[in-house]
Structure 1
Amino acid sequence: MLHTPHTPAARTPAGRRRARGPRRCRAAALLASAVSVSLVAASAPAVPLGVGDRLFPHLGNPGYDVASYDLSFTYSGKNSEPLRAVTTIDARTTARLDRINLDFAHGEVGAVEVDGEPATFTSAGEDLVITPGKPLPAGERTRITVRHTSDPASPKGREGGWVRTADGLALANQADAAHLVFPCNDHPSDKALFTIRVTAPDGHTAVANGLAAGVERTSGSATWTYRTRHPMATELAQVSIGRSTVLRRTGPHGLPLRDVVPIRHRAAAEPWAARTPAHISWMESKIGRYPLETYGLLVADAPLGFALETQTLSLFGTGLFTEPAYQEWYVESIMVHELAHQWFGDSVSPRTWSDLWLNEGHATWYEALYAEEKAGKSLRERMKDAYAASDSWRAVGGPPAAPKVPDTGGKTGIFRQNVYEGAALVLYALRQEIGRPAFERLERAWVTRHRDGTASTADFVRLASEIAGRDLDGFLRAWLYGGKTPPMPGHPDWKPTAADRVTTAESAGE
């Protein structure tokens, strides 16, 4: 995600930011090892669980691996009213389960079924705790169906989930807010396929992640269905409901593109959306084929102040495309930032939230590289400025690969400059250390090897060492985990400054 500046004159903003199979199961197992997976007996008090993430310890749940979500939402036409919803989860148990914990914290649950049979349920913290009629053995498929409401009103002290727009709703779940919208295993280590159905009154258009799978019209309403072809983390789910039009075009290699724009802003947004095929071609020239089934822009009629890389359908506020003071190169670099996330963060997802720098650092890197190649904005000078501020960023937010724990309810607390410009600076240092050809091979190998999966900082260090032909653990450890910024290879004259260059706007982003 990328937070846009509050004034058009601001400097270029820093970026905000396998399918089911052995790799994803191992990732879930590694995280689950940090907590007790010996699930408590059904007679014991219900308690919230988690997969042991250092930054969000109660996100996710041990004991199962989600294969797919089927989400159905019914929208009344008023974005102040809760939506009626049904969430169906197909999962495989990885431990014997007397209870099933789902992350869900902002809606009313009417009924729950497990494998077609009614189940009892209660809440504990931000978990929905389900007790099936009989324990579920390890290694078995199970289906959980929850009938619930999904409330667009933001809970007190929380950020994210549904975003109210002038004409409807959109989603902004990063990092820990998907479970404010639907019951789920809300951690990026457990990716799954999604089917999303949305029913809305006539005059509205609904769009979601993935490809359209049909629309059924009845008297006074329509139901749209979308399906993903690649696994997706819950934080990347997107549902747009509004008085919108869908613009369709074809990208490189026949890639279907669709952009969702408010009808009243079509004239302003369409020329920008038309640049997406060229942006994709540029990214493909750097790191290879686009990794997902479709792409497009979702332009929400709201003053968002950020952009977000929801999978296959990146979210932007109308202001980015309607504010005349924004320069052309600036708007395009933000568009490229979110596009780059489709490789870095969406296709290759962070195994833990401490690996966020791999998303945001890379998106910021390609944002900056695009600005250099297309608008003459020097990457070297941008990195020199980042180096000067890096010690300040580390002091405020922690090293790039070890962000400080966010305040309760403050999901944006981990999205600071240390994981944007600070992480891009790490990539610049690595390119300086191993040379441009090896660095470019590393980038292509990274998105190919971990496509549709999750990956960690340790995975990146190992692959960098493999590509470079030497051990880079010590070099990258200092850059990723050090409290102070190491010397920059090739630039012994670069010095950090003691001046505090961390602004309020830099302390949050996605």
Structure 2
Amino acid sequence: MNFSLTEEARFFSGMGADYLQTQHGDAKNNWKPFMKKGTPPKWCRDRMVDVRHIKLEIAPDFDAKSIRGKATLTVAPIYDHTDFLVLDACEMEIESVLVDGATADFDHDGENLTVRFGATLPPDEPLEIAVTYHATPRRGAYFVGPDQGYPNKHLEFWTQGQDEDSRYWFPCFDYPNEKATSEVIARVPKGMTSLSNGALISSDDKGDYELHHWRHDVPHVAYLVMLVIGNYVKVSKEWDGIPVDYYVPPGREADGERSFGPTPEMVKFFSEKTGVRYPYAKYAQITAEDFIFGGMENTTATLQTSLTLFDERAALDTSSDPLNSHELAHQWFGDYVTCRDWSHAWLNESFATYFEAMWQEHANGVDEFEYYLDADWKAYLAEDKGAYRRAIQTNVYVEPLDLFDRHLYQKGAVILHHLRKQLGDRLWWKVINLYLTKHGGGSVITQDFASAVEEVTGKNYDWFFSQWIYGGGHPDFKLKARWDE
């Protein structure tokens, strides 16, 4: 996820190349705490079942700004004595629940949907839970279109799941330690286009609407499930046989080429550097009006703000490459390998931010790369001095979004560069390759990355992670000069 088109801090510049030996702040250690005293820690959420597949049948109503849906989850109990299941289902009306085709009892308190099976289920035996519902979502799914103030605004429906907002548009286990394959069958107004995860396997004409059936066969987390519907033009490219497409409003094709044209080369660059070929069957980018972030790395289908579309004049002064490369890097770091819980979200965001900088080096030279790290470090220092100090990895927070700050993005990126310099390039890239190949398709915690470092180098790097990841702050030097005859 990216908070702004400029990665929130590009206005910071001018620091020297020795990033970790920077004089900053005072010696009184009077930094502010990240959370109020007594804020309880959050632990990784338990999994009652293994969610294996999510099938969504979605019918957005553009006039009412509501959705009707049916979510069918294929699950297998993990516990020995499972007789109920709790799903996240916020602010929706539950019409019915079926378990393997039979009506099931359920309770819904507006946030949690408790499905009662009526008997203890055997572990590891899959079953289908089908929930029919309707909702007028305030979060998770958004309707955008013309209004009195903006009569020419593009008509769109789009979703945004991260961090825990998918629960507002479909019932699910909305936590990053659960991965499942998915499919989305969307009712699309005639003449409109849709985009979702994976491949479009069918498009059926139903008269005044169409049914578009998308399917993604690689397990991913619920917050990465997406759907966009609107009037778009699709521009098709490819890298090494993999479709690399982008979708823009009609008339913005030239702007789309300026903004998204380098993407196939980015796919090649990240594939070659990591030693892990782009792990999915397609990559697509699509824009959204009034998008609440800069971009979102939904698996195989990145959603980006329409503000990333630059005309010929604007492109002289700015570029979409930082946003594009950041979101693309997430396909490896965040999608293919996903943090198990939010306290380890730096494994998503710090890596994407660092790989964003590496793309700048590849495209524009080492000076641009160093400028990016300079800006990242300055951004972190400003937050450390002016807002609070925290460890990059911490489970003391209120909402997951609290963690998505300059410690997580910018500081973490610079610390990864520091680690790379400690290891040297040969060992660094061996670590990256091992980490991705060993954990690809799964969920990770910080120790998984630390273990990859130790396995490749043969050295214990606990001291490094203790200082830079599990502890807050940075070196604070006070220098004095004296002239002796």
Q: Give TM class, smaller chain.
A: 0.7 to 0.9
Report the structure, 1 or 2, having the larger strand content.
2
Deviation for aligned residue 1:392: 5.3
1:164 to 144, 155, 166: 144
Partner of 2:97: 112
Structure 1 counterpart of 2:11:
11
Aligned partner of 1:455 among 408, 426, 444: 444
| Preserved contact between residue 258 and residue 315 of structure 2 (Cα < 8 Å) | no
Q: Distance in 2 between matches of 1:7 and 1:416?
A: 11
1:68-467 aligned within 5 A:
68-78=53-63, 80-95=64-79, 96-124=81-109, 126-152=111-137, 154=138, 160-162=140-142, 164=144, 166-251=154-239, 253-288=240-275, 289-322=277-310, 324-325=313-314, 330-376=319-365, 377-387=367-377, 390=380, 393=383, 396=388, 398-402=390-394, 404-407=396-399, 411-467=400-456
Single out whichever of 453-462 and 199-208 deviates more from structure 2.
Answer: 199-208
1:477 aligns with 2:466: yes
Q: Which has the larger radius of gyration?
A: 2
Shift of 1:331: 1.3
In the alignment, structure 2 segments of 5+ residues that lack a partner are 14-39, 146-153, 480-485
Q: For the structure 1 residues 144 and 486, does the alpha-carbon distance in structure 2 shift closer, same or farther, using more than 3 Å as the test?
A: farther
Q: CA deviation at 1:381?
A: 4.4
Change (3 A) 1:406 1:269: farther
The residue aligned with 2:24 is: none
CA contact (8 A) 2:41 2:396 kept: no
What are the superposed Cα offsets for residues 55-88 of structure 1, whole Å, 9 maximum, x if unpaired?
Answer: 5x6x96532010000001012343x421110000
In the alignment, the residues of structure 2 paired with residue 329 and residue 405 of structure 1 have an alpha-carbon distance, to the nearest angstrom, of 35
Q: 1:160 to 1:243 in 2, by over 3 A?
A: same
Determine the structure 1 residue equivalent to 2:37.
none
Give the aligned residue type for 2:458.
G
Q: Which residue is equivalent to 1:37? A: none
* SS state at 1:458 partner: helix
Q: Deviations over 1:114-166 (max 9, x none)?
A: 111101111246211111233323232111000011424x1xxxx54436353
Q: How far off is 1:274 after superposition?
A: 2.9
Deviation at 1:388, TM superposition (A): 5.1
* Stretch moving more, 190-199 or 447-456: 447-456
User: Does the Cα contact within 8 Å between 2:12 and 2:375 map onto a contact in 1?
Assistant: no
1:321-373, Cα deviation, whole Å (9 max, x unpaired)? 13654657741121011000000000001111111101111110011111233
- Assess if the C-alpha contact under 8 Å between 1:391 and 1:483 holds in 2: no
Distance in 1, matches of 2:389 and 2:107, equals 36
Unaligned runs of 5+ in 1: 14-52, 495-510
Aligned residues: 439
Cα gap change, 1:60 to 1:223, in 2 (>3 Å):
farther
TM-score by structure 1 length?
0.80
CA-to-aligned-CA distance 1:210-265 (integer Å, 9 cap, x gap): 011111101111000011121111011110111122222222x2012232222243
Higher mean Cα deviation, 226-235 or 324-333? Answer: 324-333
Amino acid at match of 1:453: G
Residue 272 of structure 1 and its aligned partner are, at CA, apart by 2.8
**CA distance in structure 2 between the partners assigned to 1:344 and 1:264 by the alignment:** 33
Distance 1:282 1:276 in 2: 10
- 8 Å CA contact retained: 1:329, 1:375: no
Residues 453 and 375 (structure 1 numbering): CA distance in 2 closer, same or farther, change over 3 Å? same
Contact 1:259 1:273 in 2 (8 A): yes
* SS of match in other structure, 2:252: helix
Q: What is the alpha-carbon root mean square deviation over aligned residues?
A: 2.7
SS at match of 2:87: strand
Counting aligned pairs with the same residue, the percent is 26
